């Protein structure tokens, strides 16, 4: 299978691990993780990248619905394959149901992996850039407000990264924001099936010239 993997930089660990585990040598194109907060810009970036690809039969998208940022994507020459999950975190947990169960009032989880702590870190995104402009107190208040719906940082553990090192890094973040810590077992199953061509009803297969459609 002549394929290329197009994914978010925050999921690089998981994709790289599965590629190596299965002896696969597909090229991997990484997209800025910060675009998750801007679905329209994410879609534009993904489509621009897809339009530049040539001499491949399959484009394997390491993305979920991502705020509808993947809806409408198309390739004129290659088949696009992507998991049908509402959120990338749901892919790491193995199901949309498990993801939503832990977003409720009781859990209020801000999910993390090593990649999330590196590229989607609320302290780096909302606090650090503001300190030089408005000082610690105001910057901290703004950052705390942005994540006010969360009660804990939850590490999704998998074999693609050093779990203990990432937990300690997450604990420092939780201590900074005065939140709890929690750990959950994740899975690489969806990425294994994506990269090995084991596409069942959890995947959307989009032939050349057609568009990624919204799923239930």
For residue 93, the Cα-to-chain-centroid distance in whole angstroms is 11
Residue 11 resides in a domain: yes
Residue 33 resides in a domain: yes
Shared domain for 70 and 47, answered yes or no, is yes
Q: What is the mean pLDDT of residues 166-172?
A: 98
Q: What is the mean pLDDT of residues 100-121?
A: 88
Say what the pTM is.
Answer: 0.92
* Band of pLDDT at residue 1, cut at 50, 70 and 90: confident
Q: How many domains does the chain have?
A: 2
Q: What is the mean pLDDT of residues 48-77?
A: 95
Shared domain for 75 and 117, answered yes or no, is no
Residue 69 resides in a domain: yes
Shared domain for 173 and 192, answered yes or no, is no
Say if CB 26 and CB 60 are below 8 A apart.
Answer: yes
- % of the chain at pLDDT higher than 90: 89
Query: For residue range 26-44, what is the model confidence (pLDDT) as tens digits?
Result: 999 999 999 988 999 999 9
Residue 192 resides in a domain: yes
Domain that holds residue 170: 95-185
Output the pLDDT for position 99.
84
Residue 12 resides in a domain: yes
Say if CB 195 and CB 18 are below 8 A apart.
Answer: yes
Give ∠ CA 37-39-41 in degrees, rounded to 5.
100
Shared domain for 175 and 196, answered yes or no, is no
Output the pLDDT for position 181.
97
Output the pLDDT for position 100.
83
Query: For residue range 149-162, what is the model confidence (pLDDT) as tens digits?
Result: 999 999 999 999 99
Shared domain for 170 and 198, answered yes or no, is no
**CATH for 81:** 3.40.50
Distance CA 190, CA 185 (A): 14
Query: For residue range 84-104, what is the model confidence (pLDDT) as tens digits?
Result: 998 899 999 998 888 888 776
Give ∠ CA 102-164-61 in degrees, rounded to 5.
60
pLDDT of 105 strictly over 70: no
- % of the chain at pLDDT higher than 70: 99
* Band of pLDDT at residue 183, cut at 50, 70 and 90: very high
Query: For residue range 63-79, what is the model confidence (pLDDT) as tens digits?
Result: 999 889 999 999 999 99
Residue 38 resides in a domain: yes
Say if CB 172 and CB 143 are below 8 A apart.
Answer: no
Residue 170 sits at φ, ψ, to 5 deg, of -65, -35
Output the pLDDT for position 150.
94
Tokens 């408005």 found at: 134
């Amino acid at each position: 299978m002549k394929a290329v993997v197009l994914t978010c930089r925050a999921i690089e660990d998981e994709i790289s691990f599965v590629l190596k585990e299965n002896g696969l040598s597909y090229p991997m194109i990484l997209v800025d993780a910060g675009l998750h907060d801007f679905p329209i810009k994410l879609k534009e970036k993904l489509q621009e990248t897809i339009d530049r690809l040539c001499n491949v039969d399959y484009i394997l998208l390491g993305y979920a619905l991502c705020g509808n940022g993947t809806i409408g994507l198309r390739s004129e020459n290659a088949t696009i394959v992507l998991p049908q999950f509402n959120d990338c975190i749901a892919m790491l947990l193995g199901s949309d149901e498990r993801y939503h169960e832990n977003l409720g009032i009781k859990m209020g989880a801000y999910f993390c992996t090593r990649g999330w702590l590196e590229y989607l870190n609320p302290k780096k995104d909302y606090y650090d850039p503001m300190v030089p402009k408005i000082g610690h107190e105001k910057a901290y208040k703004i950052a705390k407000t942005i994540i006010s719906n969360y009660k804990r940082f939850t590490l999704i553990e998998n074999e693609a990264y050093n779990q203990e090192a990432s937990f300690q890094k997450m604990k420092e973040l939780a201590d900074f924001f005065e939140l709890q810590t929690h750990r959950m077992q994740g899975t690489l199953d969806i990425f294994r099936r994506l990269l090995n061509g084991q596409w069942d009803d959890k995947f959307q297969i989009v032939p050349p010239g057609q568009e990624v459609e919204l799923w239930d």
